[in-house]
Every structure is written in C-alpha cells, then in structure tokens.
Copies of this chain bind each other. A is one copy, B any other.
C-alpha cells in the first residue's frame, strides 16, 4: 500500500468510497487525475433536467437533491446523493439528457469526470463496471420501493419512511434518539414523500405529539425509531 501520489489526501477520498476502494493505488491516482473538483453553494443547480450530459459526479462533501419538476413549479425529489455516492450516471452512460435536476442541499464539494474519460477508465478497469452494476441494482431496488410506497402507503407511512431513510444516511446518535443532520425544510421532506408542505407539517406535529420525533433548532430527532420502523415494515411479502 505504498501510494506515492501527488495528492495523497485527495486520492484518499476515493479510497473511502466503497465503489472504488478495491482499485489499485495507481489506478486511483489515474482516476483522480481525470477528475476536477467542483463546489456549489447551497441551492445552486449542478445540472438541469434535459441538459446534455457532460459529467459524472461523485459527492465528496454535502448532499445533492435529484429532483423532477412540473410546469407549475411543484417538485419531487426522486433520489438523494450522499457523500461517496455518484450521480448523473444514467445520462452519462447512454448519452441521453439528464433525466432530472441536481441541486445542492447544502454547500457541496464534488468530483466531476467527463463522460469520455470515465468510459476509458472503465474499459481499463472491468471490475469497476461490476461495482457500478451492483450500485445501480441497489438504486433500482430503492426506486422500486419508492414506487411501492407511493402506490400503496398513506402519507404518514411515506413520511416515516423518509425520516428513517434520512436517519440511516445522515443520522447522528444523540442522547435520546437519532438526529438528522441536514438543513431540511418541511418542503424538502414533502418533496421526498410526494406530498405537500401542509400535510408534512401536520404529520410531523402528530409524530411529535405521539413522542416519535422531536425538533430542536431546525433539526429533526427520531425519538422512537422502532415504532416508526413498525409502521413502515420494509419487509418481505410473499404471495
């Protein structure tokens, strides 16, 4: 493990990402040399739905909302990208326009790789392709779970699901519960649960009354995770 890289600290970023962690040090170096670091302030757009695909992005710091909009301005967050995850890959791989808009949830730091560079790197590292396939499979699963949820679950359940998902991805253990360490507005949560701000607020108030969650200076704290998980029950349902 004698990585003699120009910029060891940055290559380490890849090193920490499950998807890349099995690559040789020299390949990590090469991959890194193909990347550019980009920063976006909270609320800035990284790309818009229907833009021509240029880059694949890796989240280094911060979170990115991947959303779709209607003509009248309503939004749905179809996916979130957290540190260590990639986004924009659908478009990069098939050359079609980006299928959704990417917006910084807070100040983010990204690595971007151009379509062409990434492809040639991928050709030289076939095992990475397998990693990516696995990753995409995971995403598909999640998307299908979301579809099921939207199709069959009531709002409360969907919001509970969103909270649990967020706590898994960005949860911080606290004295009494798990705090979601993200600058989320109720509108954001509504967009993730495919509902309106008003209902989200109402549901969260109810959850609070029931002792399931709490809010402290903007952050949401899950007080009774187990109970929330029971409502959702992502489990198996055999016919």
Q: Which A positions have Cβ atoms within 8 angstroms of B? A: 45, 48-50, 68-71, 74, 76, 78-79, 89-91, 93-94, 96-97, 99-101, 119, 122-123, 126, 129-130, 132-134, 136-141, 143-148, 150-152, 194, 236-239
Contacts and interface: CB of A to CB of B under 8 A. Distances in A.
25 contacts: A50-B237, A50-B238, A68-B144, A68-B148, A69-B238, A69-B239, A70-B237, A76-B147, A76-B148, A89-B137, A90-B141, A93-B130, A93-B133, A93-B134, A94-B134, A100-B144, A101-B238, A119-B130, A126-B129, A140-B143, A147-B147, A147-B150, A147-B194, A151-B194, A152-B194
Nearest to A45: B239
Contacts of A93: 130, 133-134, 137
A182 to B, nearest CB: 21
Contacts of A101: 238-239
Contacts of A68: 144, 147-148, 237
Contact of A140 (B129, B139, B152): B139
A76 B130 contact: no
A134 B71 CA distance: 29
A70 B152 contact: yes
Nearest to A143: B143
A79 B130 contact: no
Given A99-B140, A99-B141, A132-B133, 15 more contacts: A49-B238, A50-B237, A68-B148, A76-B147, A76-B148, A78-B148, A91-B137, A93-B130, A97-B236, A100-B144, A126-B126, A129-B133, A143-B143, A147-B194, A150-B150
A152 B79 CA distance: 15
A109 B100 CA distance: 36
A148 to B, nearest CB: 4
A149 to B, nearest CB: 9
A151 B76 contact: yes
B138 A136 contact: no
A52 to B, nearest CB: 11
A194 B150 contact: yes
A188 to B, nearest CB: 14
